Copies of this chain bind each other. A is one copy, B any other.
Amino acid sequence: MKILVTNDDGIRSKGLRELVKALSAVGSVSVVAPDQERSGMGHAVTMHRPLRAVEISGIAGAVQAFQLDGTPADCVKLAVEVLLEQRPDLVVSGVNAGPNLGTDVLYSGTVSAAVEGIIMGIPAIAVSIADHSEGWLGLDRAVELAARIAQAIWEKGLPEDTLLNVNLPLLPAEEMKGIKVTRVGIRRYRDFVEQRQDPWGRPYYWLTGEAVDLDEGPDSDTRAVKDGWISITPIRFQLTHEEFRDELARWNIE
């Protein structure tokens, strides 16, 4: 199994390095990752300036590695089209320091790399731990689980256009409750713009805020992780609101 690893925290992230090590036990691992942190990039791609890729060494377990001055989606595109000698069988993105749950998956660079995988017809996994700090609580469990999921996908296959979004709770591995297969919850933010004044009295703004989970059903990814479960959500992008199409046609806008 040929595995492409990427992330949005940048190629120097411990989360990526440990992931590469663990996955090298189940496949041949290549890395194409951003040269610096690119979080919150959503599904951004770089079209208005050229991209540079630099081959680097010293990533234990990787057969090939490149850092790229682009987004996570750029990394997957360039890896598959230009940089790698062989097309990967699987894209694994992470391990991200911080959860990617609920509506936030739309903003997530970690998840967007996996989305780019499925757009290119390659099954994909995104892996995140709830620990935002540099403590990496749960990382060992995350990478070991990623390797087992990769193996399972290799044996069983994923449905077309589907990725798995994996999130681990903020707990020591032995206190995690096990795995729950979830759906994407609805996450909103409260007071998420902070206004400040610069030394000259002019305003500037930070996007921030407290997560408010509106969908707290027991099957939601947000609830599961809060309750101490490891959440795995199968995600695909069904974009057309089919049920509404007929009604919209009857609006007769013309």
CB distance from A64 to the nearest CB of B (A): 15
CB < 8 Å: which of B45, B47, B152, B243 contacts A251? B152
CB distance from A213 to the nearest CB of B (A): 14
CB distance from A83 to the nearest CB of B (A): 9
CB < 8 Å: which of B78, B164, B193, B241 contacts A81? B193
The answer to whether B249 and A181 have CB atoms under 8 Å apart is: yes
For the complex, give the distance between the alpha carbons of A252 and B74 in Å: 33
The answer to whether B237 and A181 have CB atoms under 8 Å apart is: no
The answer to whether A203 and B44 have CB atoms under 8 Å apart is: no
CB distance from A55 to the nearest CB of B (A): 11
List the B residue with the shortest CB-CB distance to A180. Answer: B249
For the complex, give the distance between the alpha carbons of A251 and B78 in Å: 32
Residues of A within 8 A of B (CB): 37, 39-48, 50-53, 73-74, 77-78, 81-82, 103, 105-107, 112, 115, 119, 145, 148-149, 152, 156, 158-159, 162, 164, 178-179, 181, 183-184, 188, 192-193, 195-196, 202-208, 232-245, 248-249, 251, 253-254
